[in-house]
Amino acid sequence: MPLMPKRVKFRKTQRGNRGGNAQRGNTVSFGDFGLQCLGRGWMTNRQIEACRVAINRQLKRKGKVWIRVFPHKSITGRPPETRMGKGKGAVEAWVAVIRPGTMLFEVAGVSETAAKEALRLASYKLGVPTRFVVRGKHG
């Protein structure tokens, strides 16, 4: 079952504004280690799921993993070779808006080296630059 909202007020959303930095959700709040985004863009529900699988495989189901992003935004697409003026396309994917500083995943209950390796593998599934952060340490 893909990650998506149970229900939404409006089925189709506009593209919106991706400017600025993350004002909230930008610190390690739950776990000991985190994967912080340094770029901006959209993270699809499939990317989030691929990262979750990569982290859990690497940690061999030890420790605890938190997913700090959720795909609230619907993205529409039109069939190829469709002429203009036939309305907005059908919903194709759900995405989370990612801004610099957003904490994507958090891990606890494992060593720093294990967490670093798991989050490194997860970062390869994304199209944005990320960094490994430790709770309480800044910079």
Asked if residue 128 is part of any domain, the answer here is yes
Range of the domain at 123: 33-77+90-134
Domain count, the chain: 1
Calpha distance 56→67 (Å, rounded): 12
Asked if residue 84 is part of any domain, the answer here is no
Query: Which helix (H) or strand (E) is 56 found in, with range?
Result: helix 45-59
Q: pLDDT tens digits for 54-89?
A: 999 999 989 999 999 999 999 999 999 999 999 999
Asked if residue 15 is part of any domain, the answer here is no
Asked if residue 73 is part of any domain, the answer here is yes
Asked if residue 16 is part of any domain, the answer here is no
Calpha distance 114→59 (Å, rounded): 7
pTM as predicted? 0.90
Q: Which CATH number characterizes residue 54's domain?
A: 3.90.1170.10
**pLDDT tier at 138, thresholds 50, 70, 90:** low
Q: Percent of the chain, pLDDT > 70?
A: 99
Asked if residue 5 is part of any domain, the answer here is no
